[in-house]
Amino acid sequence: MRRTPSRRLLAAAALVVSVLTPMAVTPAATVHAAVDRHDDVRRHGEGRGHGQGGRQEEDECRQGGLGRALTARLDRAVAEVRREAGIPGVTVGLWVPGQGCYVRATGVADTATGRPMATDLYMRIGSETKTFTVTALLELVDDRLLRLDTPISRYVRGVPNGDRITLRHLAEMRSGLFPYSADSDFVRALLSDPTRFFTPREVLAYGFRHRNTFEPGAQFQYSNTNLVLLGLVIEKVGGRPLAEFIHERVLRPARLRHTLFPEGRAFPEPHAHGYTNQTLSGEVEDATDWNPSWAWAAGAMISDLQDLRRWARIVATGTLLSPQTQRERLRMLPTGYPGTSYGLGIFESGGWIGHNGSIPGYQSVTVYLPSRKATLVLLLNTDITHDGQEPSSLLARAITEIVTPDNVYDRPAPPR
């Protein structure tokens, strides 16, 4: 999706990223140097394993692949985008039933040491968190504990126009509530101390001091404010902290053993270092240990390649939900950007269904193509844009143009 050059904020959670602070024209030289030293494409990393199932899946991919010619084209495409956009490291997972798969880790996980990227690293997934939060919400719908057309004012006080904004409006990004992450004071507070812990109420206050941008349901506007409110609803109705509810009701039944909602800056090992220029100076910094609490229900979660491979199909096909509720989720509405529509915490772009994520230092894409039962997962350790475009979108487009030319993923990130 497209961005506005004036507000990239902490796309964090975002599908989206707009420039809040001056962006460096190119990433730091150290990042490019590290990329150049590791142009070889690696299939498997060292370190934490995924158990027998994960290794078996990787072995099958290594033996079969997508064929020599197609694999070579993908290798060249990934290398070209990575060099052009200055991406330190990326992990790619593509699985196409009946055709084969492609699993690669290339570049570096740490530009200081040159440690290579690997396929088994934990990564911050930014806005992909939204698919987990909205799944939790929809499970409560299936439990008949709440209804999507209930006003948010029933659960959270002080929401501007809250008696007319429904839970559905929030999940669809059609509430009209101002995105707190676009507030200049919030941005200054976060970038002045990226290790700071923010509570949900603290970040909402930054958004609530602005007038709503439109009437509920009138149009689409991507806003992390919406998801933080839904997180509070889940806690109130579910009777436990959001992280605990998501673990018990979403992650455990989905058998996602390497996906978590972290407490503060917690980041399991092994993980890649992440690099951003969303800084007060505009210079590239290591954002690995920045505190994602400000993104909370909108973008704080962590996962890895194999878990996201599994999650892509689960969230797109509604494994954890009733058929009726899944149909509600996939009722896609226009975003104002050709080729991209948005449902309840999920988007469709070129036939691919899922979500992307961006948080300072990291970007990701996890999507599923129902017509081919194909899955694509991308994990990057930078969120630095190239010519105004997200590096994850550049990679996803290049890959899908080769493997699924009739279904090309095209910039799923609406502007803030």
Range in 38-42, 223-227, 322-326 with the lowest mean pLDDT: 38-42
Q: Is the pLDDT of residue 50 over 70?
A: no
pLDDT band at 47 (very low <50, low <70, confident <90, very high): very low
Q: Is the pLDDT of residue 146 over 60?
A: yes
User: What DSSP line would sit under 242-305, residue for residue?
Assistant: HHHHHIIIIIHHHT-TT-B--STT--PSSB---EE--SSS---EE-TT--GGGTHHHH--EE-H
pLDDT band at 60 (very low <50, low <70, confident <90, very high): low
Closest by CA position to 82, among listed 103, 106, 66, 101? 106
* 255 torsion bin: left (phi>0), alpha (psi -120 to 50), beta (else): left
Residue with the larger pLDDT of the pair 296 and 2: 296
Q: b/e per residue, 183-217, with b = 16+ CB within 10 A? A: beebbebbbeebeeebebeebbebbbeeebeeebb
Q: Is the pLDDT of residue 30 over 50?
A: no
pLDDT band at 62 (very low <50, low <70, confident <90, very high): low
Task: State the pLDDT at residue 410.
Answer: 79
* 298 torsion bin: left (phi>0), alpha (psi -120 to 50), beta (else): alpha
Q: Is 21 helix (H, G, I), strand (E, B) or coil?
A: coil
Task: State the pLDDT at residue 328.
Answer: 98
Mean pLDDT (whole number) for 74-85: 98
pLDDT band at 291 (very low <50, low <70, confident <90, very high): very high
Residues 6+ apart with CB under 8 A from 405: none
**E strand or H helix at 394:** helix 391-403
Task: State the pLDDT at residue 236.
Answer: 98
Q: CA-CA distance, 137 to 41, in Å (whole number)?
A: 40
Is residue 253 reached through a cis peptide bond, with omega within 30 degrees of 0 on the bond before it?
no
Task: State the pLDDT at residue 284.
Answer: 98
Task: State the pLDDT at residue 383.
Answer: 98
Q: CA-CA distance, 165 to 106, in Å (whole number)?
A: 45
Task: State the pLDDT at residue 353.
Answer: 98
Residues 6+ apart with CB under 8 A from 332: 341, 342, 343, 347, 348
Task: State the pLDDT at residue 340.
Answer: 93
Mean pLDDT (whole number) for 20-38: 30
Task: State the pLDDT at residue 337.
Answer: 87
pLDDT band at 415 (very low <50, low <70, confident <90, very high): very low
Mean pLDDT computed over every residue of the chain: 87
Task: State the pLDDT at residue 61.
Answer: 65
Closest by CA position to 274, among listed 113, 139, 382, 401? 382
pLDDT band at 99 (very low <50, low <70, confident <90, very high): very high
Task: State the pLDDT at residue 213.
Answer: 97
Q: Is 134 helix (H, G, I), strand (E, B) or coil?
A: helix
Q: Is the pLDDT of residue 288 over 70?
A: yes
297-356 pLDDT, tens digit each: 999 999 999 999 999 999 999 999 999 999 999 999 999 988 899 999 999 999 999 999
Q: Is the pLDDT of residue 412 over 70?
A: no
Can you give the pTM of this predicted structure? Answer: 0.88
Percent of the chain having pLDDT more than 70?
83
Task: State the pLDDT at residue 180.
Answer: 98
